[in-house]
Amino acid sequence: MSLQLSRTWSSGQKLLFRFFFVFFVLYIPFSFIPYLGEGYEFLWRQAVPWVGEHVLHLPGKITIFTNGSGDTTYDYVKLFCMAVLSVTAALVWSAADRRRRNYDALHHWLRVGLRYYMFYMMGVYGFAKVFHLQMPSPFLSQLVQPFGDKSPMGLAWSYVGFSAAFSAFAGWAEVISGMLLLFRRTVLMGSVLCAFVMLNVVAINFCFDVPVKLYSSFLLLVSLFLMAPDMRRLGNLFLFNKTVQPKVYRTYLNKRWLRITAGVVKFLFIGLVLYSQVANSMSGAKRYGAAASRPPLYGIYNTELLVRNHDTIPPLMTDTTRWRQVIIQFANYAQVKLMNDSLKALAFDIDTTAKTATVFTPGDTSRKNVMRYTLDSTYLTLDGVLNNDTVTYRLKKFDHRTFRLVSRGFRWVNEYPYNW
């Protein structure tokens, strides 16, 4: 449906526009404006649980809000509330403004706002992939994780993160499609590319249980909304083999000083956004990305010997306390793989001067265990008290570069498929 085919819009066009206008205003967060975003979200956190309890009669009270997951019960009920409010507002607006012929100007400025919003968000997600931050290379703990124990989301993350080049390719697709939305002559190309890019993201989120289904679907909806005025022209070009007339661009800034001011503000905004996003990504790469410094005991260590209370403990699969492997990738943190292949997270604070490791369960600082360590090119030895037992662990360092996934590398020529 094109909203620019006629100066007089149909009743259906006007009703749809009113709905989408209200819905987009409600859905797009105000995080760009200090304090307003927090206040806006505070209101939703009061209203949504009440709606869930008294209107939808959910079996339990909503106590978990948007976190690393954007698909919580709270988010679905919030979406329901937004949809109801948008329908209600659209009907009231239609009754109060039924004589208006069109919303050309308001539609134009809504599109401008959505274009810049999409540019910003595509940059946020795109540069995180370009700098290999959102989906990094598989962690050491993931390299020793049984394939069948991976979550669907973890599988998707490892698939993209395995290749820094593929991650960058996906990221540049998002960045470039977002940048094309900034200029009116490339808006259609940008919206089409954004739609294809976001369709792929939505498919991954739904098929691999990534909890960003709602938000990625929203970005896809915005892309389609930006495409809507040109749908008929696209259909004539690609489907119906009809002549496509050039688009006539209309300006809503009739004074020269307004156009100059808008152009200056536009390029200052673009420069600020690109600079901040690239700078933040480069900083992230140094802090926790591929360029981050490694902790002193970085690596994978396999247990060869355990002496507990002066007794040598055999490696029994039924022993759920014995460490089978110690994986250290991040500062002050380690993962321990037990004999039953389960992983346990431990705080692992290293003092390189005293040659000690303070080991405890995260969140339980009352039971800290200080262990002395020695390290050479082959072995890591930990000696001290652990859970009220005197222990000595001798662990042999494993070269993670020998994993097939890591060592295979890129090959131009493959005489046979290498599919394991």
Tens digits of per-residue pLDDT, 127-170? 999 999 999 999 999 999 889 989 999 999 999 999 999 999 99
Q: Is the dihedral of CA 400, 406, 408, 411 positive or negative?
A: negative
CATH code, domain with 354: 2.40.128.20
304 with 174, same domain: the answer is: no
Both 316 and 284 in a single domain? no
**Looking at residues 176-191, what average pLDDT do you find?**
96
> Residue 265: which pLDDT band, with cuts at 50, 70 and 90?
very high
Look at residue 113 and tell me if it is in a domain. yes
Domain check: are 193 and 320 in the same one?
no
CB half-sphere exposure, 69, CA atoms < 13 A: 12
Number of domains, the chain: 3
Residues 90 and 232 grouped into a single domain: no
Q: Are 228 and 131 members of one domain?
A: yes
Mean per-residue pLDDT, 42-50: 95
Q: What is 307-345 written as a DSSP string?
A: EETTEEPP--TT-SSSEEEEEE-STTEEEEEETTS-EEE
What's the pTM value of the predicted model, to 2 decimals?
A: 0.91
Does the pLDDT value for residue 4 go beyond 70? no
The most confident of the ranges 139-153, 202-216, 312-326, 376-390 is: 202-216
Q: Are residues 147 and 280 in the same domain?
A: yes
Q: Are 92 and 110 in the same domain?
A: no
DSSP letters, 223-260, are HHHHHGGGHHHHHHHHTS----PPPPP--S--SHHHHH
Amino acid 189: pLDDT:
97
Q: Are strands 379-386 and 343-351 parallel, antiparallel or unpaired?
A: unpaired
Residue 333 lies in a domain: yes
Domain boundary (260, 292, 324) is at 292
Q: Please report whether residue 241 resides in a domain.
A: yes
Give the pLDDT band of residue 2 (cuts 50, 70, 90). very low
Instruction: Say if 420 falls within a structural domain.
Output: no
Query: What value does the mean pLDDT take over residues 378-387?
Result: 94
Please check whether residues 167 and 80 belong to one and the same domain.
no
Residue 384 phi/psi, 5-degree rounding, is 165, -150
Looking at 292, 325, 357, the residue that finishes a domain is 292
Q: One-letter amino acid identity for 211?
A: P
Q: Which of 274, 292, 310 is the last residue of a domain?
A: 292
Domain span at 394? 299-404
**Mean pLDDT value across residues 41-46:** 94
417 falls within a domain: no
Residue 144 lies in a domain: yes
393 and 381 Cβ atoms separated by less than 8 Å: yes
Residue 341 has what pLDDT? 85
Residue 347 reports pLDDT greater than 70: yes
Q: Is residue 309 part of a domain?
A: yes
30 pLDDT more than 80:
no
Note the pLDDT of residue 31.
67
- Does 270 lie in the same domain as 134? yes
Q: Which two tokens stand for residue 242?
A: 């009809």
Q: Are residues 334 and 311 in the same domain?
A: yes
Note whether 68 and 153 are same-domain residues. no
In this structure, is residue 411 part of a structural domain? no
The reply to whether 26 and 130 lie within a common domain is no
> Taken in order 299, 304, 310, 316, is the CA torsion positive or negative?
positive
Contacts of 27 (CB under 8 A, 6+ apart): 82, 218
